[in-house]
Every structure is written in C-alpha cells, then in structure tokens.
Amino acid sequence: MIEYIFSLIIITSIWTLLAQSYNLSFGLTGLFNLGHIIFYGIGAYTAAILNTRYGIGFFPNLIFAALVSGAFAAFFGLLTLRLSGHYLAIATLGAAMIATVVATNWVSLTNGPLGIRGIEEPEFFGKIIQADSLEFVVLMLIIVVFCNFLLYKIFNSPFGRIQRAIKDDEIAVRAVGKNTFAAKSWSLILSAAFAGIAGCLYTHYRLFLDPSIFALPEIIILILMVVVGGRGNFKGAILGTILVIIIGELPRFIGFPDNIIGATRNLLFAALLIGTMFTRPQGLFTFFTEKE
C-alpha cells in the first residue's frame, strides 16, 4: 500500500516538473508551443540509450538529458520562433507527431516499436536505489524541488520579466532594446532542458521506454495542468498538476466499471477545462499570488 502511495508521489512530482517547465515557455513567455512533449521524450530516450548502451548512470544522465533536449530546442527554435502564434502552434504540433514516427522508425537508435528495456535504477555510491522505495521518493523530491527552485528563480528574475513582457507585447519589447528572438529562444531552451530532466527521471523510474511517450493525449493533459493552474503562475502549475492527477485517479477509485474509466476520465478533464475557462480563465489558483 505504502509503495502505491510512493508511486503516486513520484509520478506527481515528475509531472510537476514537466508542467513547470512547460509553464516557462507556454505560460510565462506565451509561446504557443504544443509539442513540448518532444523535449520530455528526447530527454527520456537520451537517458535510456546512454544507460543501456554505454552504461551511463542516472546522475550523469540528468545532465545529458538536459543538454540534448536543450540543444534540440535551440535548433528547433531557430526554425520556428520567427513564426507567429498560430503557425508556431501548428509547427510544434506537427513536430510532436513526427517525433513518434522518428522514434518508431529510427530503429538502430531507439529499437523502434519494440522499445528499450532493462534500464537501470539510479545508483548512489554503489547502492542501488529501488523504484517505489522511500529512498527513491526522497531522491525524486530533492531533484524536483531543486529544479522547481531554479525555475522559481528564473520566473522572478529580470529574464522572467522580459518573458512576461514578450507575452504582453513583443514589438514593444523590441522597442525598448531587447533581442526578443534570443529571449524566446532561451525560454524554449531552458523549458526543454527541464523537460528533458523530467524525461530522465521517468526513464530511470519506469525502466522501459517505447515511442508511446510521445503520444498526443499527454500533451493535452500537460496543457490542462498549466492552464488550470494559471499560465505563468509558478504555484499554479504545481497545484494544477496535483488537481489534474487527483481528478484522473478518481474514476478508478470510485469504482466505475473498467471499460468506462477511460471515457469518464476524459469527461472529467473536459469539464475541468471548460469550467476553468468559464469561471476563472486566468487559472484556478491565481488568487494565491494576486494581491486582494
């Protein structure tokens, strides 16, 4: 029983990091990036490949995952950040779809649809940290809290201020002398790097990875978490994640018959999104930071 609770905590904390990373580019800067899941998947695959093929461990993988995802975002940003909102949305969505195809077909790199199995758990000075153990929970929480702390610093820095200004009016930001292209690029790169770290955490937890990590339904849940919490709202992203996960687990526990759990979950998510849009579109948890 306790292990199940641990697993919920671990999954929730990974999602929190992923949502917060998305909150940076989508929420704070207002980049209409619908393909954020790519960075998560690239981080996950980087860790999986480096571990199973070259024996690279969990801790170095955190850095590698961040670097590879970030580098990919830099390249991706060069191609797409000059596009305006709607086009950016379509381009990023298309990229997410392509990612699935690439992961499935670049078999020599990713083992294709068969997936990569046998990924190792984190090792700390010779001791293996088992998934769903207390040590693992602690490790995850430390990493996630630390990353969130860094993101918090970023949100509240002059860099963060530029991002918020870009979200308001990018042309005006250029008019006060800022290189908005570089600013947006860095927002995307940092956002991707943290998503990559989340992907690495996932890989070394689930220990099996296949192209389904790029699946589009996950992107919708991610958007839901950030929008419900309040775009650009740091605390909101965390609370939004927890709320969405709890609502997702409800049908299973209220004892709905198995074959409609999936549909019920989707209905609840839809209701949550519509409810948020109608009653409080700036996010359900924004009152925590507004001065009332």
Partner 1 sequence: MKNFTIGLILGILVVFGYQQLNYNPSVNSSEAIVIGGIAPLTGDAASLGIQTQEISNMRVEEVNKEGGINGRNLEIIWEDGKCTPGEASRAAQKLIGIDKVSVILGGVCSGETLGATPITERNKVILFSPISTSPEVTHAGDFVFRSAPSDSTQGMVLADYANKHFKRVGLISENTDYALGVANVFEEIFEGEIVREDYLSTESDFKTRITKLKNEKLDALIINPQSPPKYEIILKQLQEQNWKTPFLVNEVAAGNAESSIKFKDFLVKNKTVGANFIVPESDELNDVLQKYEAKHGKKVEYLNYTGTSYDGINILIHALSQVENISDTESIRDELYAIKDFPGLLGKVSMDENGDVNITYTLFEFNGEEFIPISE
Partner 2 sequence: MLKIQELSKKFGGVHAVEKFSFEIKPNHITGLIGPNGAGKTTAFNLITNFLPRDKGEVFYKEELIKKSSAYKLVKKGIARTFQQIRIFPELTVKENLLLAMSHDYDNWWNSFGNIDENLEEERIMELLKEVNLEKYLEEKAGNLSYGQSKLLEILRVVATNADLILLDEPAAGVNPTMLRIVEKLILGLKEKGKTLLVIEHNMPFLMGISDEIIVMESGKFLCQDLPEKVQKDPKVLEAYLGG
Site for partner 2, rule CB under 8 A: 153-154, 156-159, 161-162, 164-165, 167-169, 171-180, 182, 186
* 4, interface contact from partner 1, partner 2, none, CB < 5-8 Å by kind: partner 1
Site string for partner 1, 130-149 (x = CB under 8 A): xxx-----------------
Q: Please tell me whether residue 4 binds partner 1 under the rule CB under 8 A.
A: yes
* 104, interface contact from partner 2, partner 1, none, CB < 5-8 Å by kind: partner 1
* 208, interface contact from partner 2, partner 1, none, CB < 5-8 Å by kind: partner 1
C-alpha gyration radius of the chain: 19
Beta bridge partners of 117: 208
Give dist(CA 70, CA 227) in Å, integer: 23
Give dist(CA 221, CA 19) in Å, integer: 9
Residue 175 beta carbon to partner 2: minimum distance, rounded to whole angstroms? 6
User: Tokens 């809290």 appear where?
Assistant: 145
- Give every CB contact of residue 56 below 8 A, 6+ residues apart in sequence: 50, 64
β-strands 208-209, 123-124: how paired? unpaired
Give dist(CA 29, CA 186) in Å, integer: 10
Q: Please tell me whether residue 1 binds partner 1 under the rule CB under 8 A.
A: yes
Which one of the spans 26-34, 113-121, 172-180, 183-191 is the region binding partner 1 (CB under 8 A)?
113-121
Give dist(CA 200, CA 69) in Å, integer: 11
Residue whose C-alpha is closest to residue 81's, from 33, 34, 27, 21: 33
Q: Please tell me whether residue 60 binds partner 1 under the rule CB under 8 A.
A: no
Residues of the shown chain interacting with partner 1 in the complex, contacts defined by CB under 8 A: 1-5, 7, 11, 101, 104-105, 107, 112-115, 117, 130-132, 206-210, 212-213, 215, 243, 246-247, 249-250, 252-255, 258-259, 261-263, 280, 284-285, 287
